[in-house]
Structure 1
Amino acid sequence: MPDVGDLVTARLTVDPADESTSASLLVTRPDGTVVTPVVTGSDGGAAWSAPVTYTLAGIWRLSWTVTGTGASVQHEVVGVAPAPATMADVRSYATTTQLANFLHAAPPLDAVKLLERATTLLDSDFLKAAVYDVDDDGMPTDADVIAAFAEAVCAQVEFWGEVGEETDISGPLQGVQLGSVALQFGAGENRSGPDYYAPKLIRALQNVPGEKLRWIAYSGGC
């Protein structure tokens, strides 16, 4: 699968073909705009090629139209992946270096994505009930809190590596004690235990001094 920014050569073979054969290429990009690359023929009309630069992530359609001998219309659908994210592209409480040190091993190749998702999980499922000092970007400023949040998201990524990633946490958290407050989300048939969360994540939050990370009573959905 190509990535955004890749320059590829689209190719078409026509059979039968002769000097009357001609081909053109219409490229439809994911945003609906179209481009018509310069097409070059060879082998007496049997082989055609054109440069295509994938500038957007998403689904591209390459439509060849052949006239003359071998006349036909052929479509090819290509999925283009976004360029791999870097730490500068995402909101995360830990870096891939911190994750590697936590794991005592090389991090997974999708570590940036996993750290971002673990940070989102921490924000949405735990930190709604937390009070701590932050900067203008909403990131913690106290060294103990910074270290705890980094440990928490690294623990969650490690947990996903062991049991599989929950791409959508479908059930709310029930019954975790943090400081003097018992966090409880959801009720009745919507209950879910903390199996969605790494035990080390919860311990990392519990270990922060109370004057640096305070918990308020909170009840409701995630």
Structure 2
Amino acid sequence: MSRTYATDTDYASWLDVKEAPEGAARLLRDASLEVDEMLLTAIYRVDHDGAPTEPHVIEALRDATCAQAEYRAEHGDEATITLGDVPVSLGPLSIGGRSNSKTDGTALPQHNPVAVRILRLAGLIPGTVQNA
């Protein structure tokens, strides 16, 4: 069972808007999964349901989730794949394929550097986060 580390209200506050944008629940759910990926080796106290119990960890997970959701909203995510994004191969010919890059062709990291920094400063990521 996956958990979501931030609410629509948290996300609206992070964005400094009155209401969370449409689709915020999905963004936060997906961003929470990506935060879990970043925390693969993290050690912190949890309750019997596996939820964090320490206030600084709860805050870091909330903020990292909001940062990751904002990043996904700005740069796209797996749920926005269109037909042109699906790679097609026929022998040596390959057409299409999802590009996760800036307009200048520089590849974007999968995880928002702000989210990684939040988790690192909270002591939850001791090393580097590997981007797929």
Structure 1 length as normaliser, TM-score? 0.41
Write out per-residue CA displacement over residues 98-150 of structure 1, whole angstroms, 9 at most, x where no aligned residue: 10000012322211111111111111x21111000011111111100000000
Q: Which residue of 50, 53, 68 corresponds with 1:138?
A: 50
- Residue 197 of structure 1 aligns with which residue? 111
1:165 Cα deviation after fit: 1.8
Q: Are the equivalent residues in 2 in contact too, given 1:96–1:107 (CA < 8 A)?
A: yes
Write out per-residue CA displacement over residues 155-196 of structure 1, whole angstroms, 9 at most, x where no aligned residue: 01111121112349xxxxxxxxxxxxxxxxxxxxxxxx7611
Instruction: Mark the CA change 1:215 to 1:133 in structure 2 (over 3 Å): closer, same or farther.
Output: farther
Larger relative contact order, structure 1 or 2 (CA cutoff 8 Å, min sep 6): 2
- Residue 32 of structure 2 aligns with which residue? 119
CA distance in 1, matches of 2:33, 2:79: 11
Instruction: Mark the CA change 1:140 to 1:101 in structure 2 (over 3 Å): closer, same or farther.
Output: same
CA distance in 2, matches of 1:146, 1:154: 12
> How many positions carry a matched residue from both structures?
103
CA distance in 2, matches of 1:202, 1:216: 10
Write out per-residue CA displacement over residues 30-56 of structure 1, whole angstroms, 9 at most, x where no aligned residue: xxxxxxxxxxxxxxxxxxxxxxxxxxx
Q: Which has the higher strand share?
A: 1
Q: CA RMSD in A?
A: 2.7
What fraction of aligned residue pairs are identical, expressed as a percent? 37
Q: Which has the higher helix share?
A: 2
Give unpaired runs (5+ residues) of structure 1.
1-89, 169-192
Would you identify which runs of 4 or more consecutive aligned residues in structure 1 move more than 4 Å? 214-217
Give unpaired runs (5+ residues) of structure 2.
81-106
Q: Are the equivalent residues in 2 in contact too, given 1:129–1:216 (CA < 8 A)?
A: no
Aligned ranges for residues 24-173 of structure 1 at < 5 Å? 91-105=3-17, 106-123=19-36, 125-167=37-79
Q: Are the equivalent residues in 1 in contact too, given 2:27–2:73 (CA < 8 A)?
A: no
Q: Are the equivalent residues in 2 in contact too, given 1:93–1:150 (CA < 8 A)?
A: yes
1:91 Cα deviation after fit: 2.0
CA distance in 2, matches of 1:149, 1:194: 22
Write out per-residue CA displacement over residues 59-107 of structure 1, whole angstroms, 9 at most, x where no aligned residue: xxxxxxxxxxxxxxxxxxxxxxxxxxxxxxx721011111000001232
